[in-house]
Amino acid sequence: MKRVRPFALSLLAGFCAAYLFGFIRVRESAAHLLEKNLALKDSGQIPLPGEGHFDTLASLNPALFGALFFAIALGAGAAALGFFYGSFLRFFGDKARKILSLASFAPSVWALLLGDILLALALAAIFFTATSLGMAGEKLKGKEIIEPLAALLIAALSFSPILLSDSGGFITVRNAMVRAPALRAVSDFYYRWTLYPAESIKPLIGLSQPLAGYTNGFSRQEHSKISTELLSLGFLTVNGEKGVDLKIEKREGAAFLARGGVFVKWPEGAEAQKEAIKELSAASDKVRPARNAMLALLVGGFPLCVFGIFYYTGKALFSSNKIFRFAYYAAFCGVLLALGLMDNAKYLKLERELGQEELKIAFSSPDPVLRLYAARGAARFPVELENELIGATFDSILNVRYSAALSLGGSGSQKAAARLEEILRGNEDWYVKDRAWWAKKGP
């Protein structure tokens, strides 16, 4: 049947359902993050995102913007998979379609069995709607699968140079966005808001600043000993339970770590303590279903979403002329090929091989991507290029600033430490602060 199926409507449904899911999750996460930031500030420690971001954390902005990442990664991917599965069912009769369409509820049943009711509702709404829209219409004939498969093959072959390049697909696209002023706003938006949704789906050991809070019953000596041990594993500590990610409780004379109803005894010895943290993180990881679903749909569903937009746009524009449709496919794929064949070798060479003089010249280049890779490459010479790295932390390009901050940590000088401290206590973007935090902590 020669008509355009409502693919756009499926994407809209998926986008809205996943956006609502993401809004709720990021809102909860941001509220907890604000409490954690205030607890760290009150205890005299530097919080992330910290100063300049308290009003943002208290507002709806993290949820409003962060939910877009869920809408794209979860919603678009799930909608595309559901729609193409429904379209595949059109090769079967009505009775078989109805029976096979029940498989669209499998992802939501999986989420429900793992205890994530909100995720189950979101997946049910997306997959059921998209599958129903995809399978609506007359039964398809076998030959009608040739054109979409041909278009899919053309798109896959055109996209392969990007994925197989030394710089990788994400880096290739990022470099193109940083280089083009018209697209740089998209790159800035990504780095400015991505850590908010990311924080909402991280396990305990993946949080930016995992925070433990003491309950009563610990002596000053015990408090100091456990705090030092936790700090060596990247965990900060405060007194009390406000804003913390886990509690340190005393039970029958022994210290226990507690989170979400899971208790793990705090052992002696660095290796045993590391294993205890891993055990607690895994056992209390209530966001694992959402994290796994987003990853699976981003990898397996989002490429189908991009292909679907490409394919159905061609059918809508040239519904009656197959030659024009394939000319459109070829033009679209030409853009992908051009992107994939962009020469990133000079940037990678600057990062991995070239010496101090070449890096110094690149730091003053008008090309923002050259400055970005100069900041990354300077990690090999952090002492010799300390002044250039400090200067790069003031660059107008966010990507340059966070790369420079991370590389600056290798200097080890008081001057570098002071600049990193200034970044952490200032109004800089969270992504830059995050890199400054890791730089200051050292390896």
Decide if pLDDT at 443 tops 80: no
Q: How confident is the model at residue 349 (pLDDT cuts 50, 70, 90)?
A: confident
Residue 370 belongs to domain with CATH number? 1.25.10.10
Alpha-carbon distances of 168 from 160, 252, 276, 307, 344, rounded to whole Å: 10, 53, 36, 19, 10
Across the range 362-372, mean pLDDT stands at 95
The answer to whether position 214 is within a domain reads: yes
Across the range 348-372, mean pLDDT stands at 93
The answer to whether position 326 is within a domain reads: yes
More confident residue, 303 or 289: 289
pTM of the entire predicted model? 0.89
What is the side-by-side order of every strand in the sheet holding 262-265?
236-239, 211-214, 246-251, 254-259, 262-265
pLDDT score, position 16: 97
The answer to whether position 14 is within a domain reads: yes
CB 394 within 8 A of CB 424: no
Decide if pLDDT at 342 tops 80: no
Give the residue from 399, 394, 397, 405 showing the smallest Cα distance to 436: 405
pLDDT score, position 5: 61
Whether residue 151 sits in one domain with residue 126: yes
pLDDT score, position 346: 80
The answer to whether position 2 is within a domain reads: no
Whether residue 180 sits in one domain with residue 153: yes
Q: How confident is the model at residue 2 (pLDDT cuts 50, 70, 90)?
A: very low
Return the minimum-mean-pLDDT range out of 138-152, 191-205, 428-442: 138-152
Whether residue 41 sits in one domain with residue 130: yes
Whether residue 172 sits in one domain with residue 57: yes
Q: How confident is the model at residue 167 (pLDDT cuts 50, 70, 90)?
A: low
Whether residue 239 sits in one domain with residue 281: yes
Whether residue 51 sits in one domain with residue 140: yes
Spatial distance between the Cα atoms of 107 and 408, rounded to a whole number of angstroms: 45
Residue 361 C-alpha from the chain's centroid: 33
Decide if pLDDT at 256 tops 70: yes
- Structural domain span for residue 303: 7-197+290-340
- For the chain, the domain total comes to 3
Whether residue 120 sits in one domain with residue 89: yes
Whether residue 161 sits in one domain with residue 47: yes
pLDDT score, position 156: 66
Domain end among 340, 359, 380: 340
Whether residue 142 sits in one domain with residue 86: yes
The answer to whether position 24 is within a domain reads: yes
CB 371 within 8 A of CB 363: yes
Spatial distance between the Cα atoms of 377 and 355, rounded to a whole number of angstroms: 9
The CA angle 90-95-96, to the nearest 5 degrees, is 55
Q: How confident is the model at residue 336 (pLDDT cuts 50, 70, 90)?
A: low
Cis geometry, peptide bond prior to residue 49 (ω within 30 degrees of 0): yes
The answer to whether position 150 is within a domain reads: yes
Domain end among 340, 359, 375: 340
Whether residue 300 sits in one domain with residue 183: yes
Whether residue 255 sits in one domain with residue 138: no
Query: In percent, how much of the chain has pLDDT > 90?
Result: 71
pLDDT score, position 216: 83
The answer to whether position 177 is within a domain reads: yes
Across the range 408-430, mean pLDDT stands at 95
More confident residue, 164 or 400: 400
Return the minimum-mean-pLDDT range out of 197-206, 282-291, 300-309, 395-404: 300-309
To which residue do tokens 């210290």 refer? 255
Whether residue 277 sits in one domain with residue 303: no
Spatial distance between the Cα atoms of 132 and 7, rounded to a whole number of angstroms: 11
pLDDT digits 0-9 by tens, 60-81: 999 999 999 999 999 999 999 9
Decide if pLDDT at 58 tops 60: yes
The answer to whether position 1 is within a domain reads: no
Q: How confident is the model at residue 1 (pLDDT cuts 50, 70, 90)?
A: very low
Q: How confident is the model at residue 168 (pLDDT cuts 50, 70, 90)?
A: low
